[in-house]
Every structure is written in C-alpha cells, then in structure tokens.
Structure 1
C-alpha cells in the first residue's frame, strides 16, 4: 500500500494572508516571492436581506469603571523619617508562620480595618523565608515574602492600597513592607 499525502487547497483568504506575510520577509537565496493571488470572483447571488436592528433598550448601565491608578512608592521623606525613628507606623501585622490562605485573609482584614481606622501607613511582616525547622526538602520557603507584594498589587485592593516599599532594617528589612493606605471617602463608616 502506498501512502498518499492529501494536500488541502488554500482558501482565497489564506492565499492573500500568505502572500502578505511572504512579501514582508527576505526570500532565501534562489527563491522568489510567491505570485500575487488572483482576485476573488464575485458570484451573482441574491442580496442578503437586511434585518433591522432591534431598538436599543434604554436601561441605565453603570458608567465604565475608571482605570486603576498606578501604585505609588512611599515618599522619600516618609522613608527617611521611618529609618531615623522620627516617624512610626500606625499599625503592624505579622504574617510569618501562617499558611498562604490564612495569611491572605488576615492581610485583607487587617488592611480594611486599618483603613477604616484612618491609618495612613502600616507595616506588614512577611518573614524572610529562611529555613524552617521540620520543613521537608521540597517545601517552598519565602512564599509570603513573594506573595504579599502580588496581593497588594491586585485590583481589588487598589481602593485600599496606594503603594508599598520594602521596610528599613530596624522594621524587618526584606522580610517586611511599609504599606500606604488610601483615606476612606467622605462619611464611610466601618461596621
């Protein structure tokens, strides 16, 4: 039995696309450009009946959400004041030692409570992810140190978080973050 390879013919659209692509690359030595595809022949067909578009429904749609503002770093003056001990953070949460899901929910609760209390700058301790006692050889270390910045960048926290920076050494260095919080808008109260 002989095997035959079936070749499929290119459609006119595929031929036009290939011709367009081939004309924008340099041909190999000894090869020329493919021929220009023949224009498609229009067959006489009955015109497609036009269907009237339904009348627009006048329902109040919510306005499109504004674009999320970019995260802003903590101001240089604030960082200097924190490093020199002239300014303190408003509140602290220590997440290290928690499992990822537990830490995520604790962080969300903490940030919402801190914003509700009118705090502007908080410290989030993630831990540096060093070797832990009893950890197996395949357990990942430093998960919270990596995940907390990711969580802080998520769109659902942008109404709470303005920005964040690695903490100074006296506050935990690379195992902690200063987080700037947005002020709650007029008259919102937490329950």
Structure 2
C-alpha cells in the first residue's frame, strides 16, 4: 500500500518543478551571456590600449594635480554706456560760448592764459618750449558744436593718459567770412573753463603761430 502511493507522489512533485528548472536554466544562460560580453569588452579594451601604446609610444603621466595650470575664460568687461552718456552730456553742458574770458587773459603781444595763482614764469616757459608738445588736435573744418565736443574730449583724454603739453589748432580764419578766426576766441573760452588746463599761449611760428595754442595740463595719472 505504501509502495503504491510513493510513485504517485513522486511524479506529481517532478511536474511541479519543471517551471522552476526552466527559470533556473534561463537565469544561468543569461549569466553566461553577461560573462561572455564582459570578457569580450575587456578583450576589446585591452586591444585598444595596446593599439594606443603602439601608436603614440611611451608616455609619462602627470606627477600631480598641483602642477596643472587651468586657464579661466575671462569675460569681456561690460561697456559703461550710461557713464559714457553722462560724460558726453557734461562735456556739452560745461563749455559755454558766453563765458567772458577777457578778464582772465594776459594782454601782451600774444594773448595767453594762466590759472589764478600760477606765476608768470609758467606762460614764459610754455612759450619758450620748455614742455615738448605730446599730442595735437586740429579743429579745421569742424562746426562750432563739433569743435567744442572734440576739444572737451581731447583735453579730458589727454589729462587722463598723463599728458602735460598739447597743441590745439584752431586756424587763422583765412577761409572764414570776413577772414575772422571764429574758432580762436571760442577755443580760448572753452579752454579757460576746463579744470584740466593750467595755462595756454599762442604757439610759436613753427608750431602754427597765431593759428594754434599750446596748452599746459594739470599733472594726471599715467
């Protein structure tokens, strides 16, 4: 009786194990495939390393991070648009054509100007060429408003870059109506109003004579 029951129970148990066996077999096959792919990838990597070493020859690795130099990308400085607009407006507003300059000019054979408190030796030395002319501005052909703006900008930049002596060519007025040097008196008015200007004199003949002024500037930064 007991012998008859065991075969029946044993067959029933094997049937129940078939799905488990199939799952185990599939898992083993997948594991074997993964291992094969890993071996294949390692083999390809080894071949690539050997090929690289054969192509470039012997190399020496970097000793450490401290010896590396990293270059940071520098962004361009922002353009100070508002400051430029403000400076341009100040330039136009600060130089008046109605400024009375006659009381400030030294009346001699050649009109000259020196800031109050400056001695006569300043204009004398300036007229004799004690300071060499470092830059010049030619206002020929400019309208009054253009000349005023150009002169203000020229003086400002000359002072900012540390120049001491410059020449301003305003012309002799030979091409003006009535042959009157229109810009000459205006340039004198404008220069007297510039805080960067210490003195100015009429240029020597070799530097333009009555058609130009030599201007001494306050010492600025270089």
With normalisation by structure 1, the TM-score equals: 0.49
Task: Kindly indicate which of the two structures has a greater share of residues assigned to helix.
Answer: 2
With normalisation by structure 2, the TM-score equals: 0.43
Query: For the pair shown, which has the larger CA radius of gyration, 1 or 2?
Result: 2
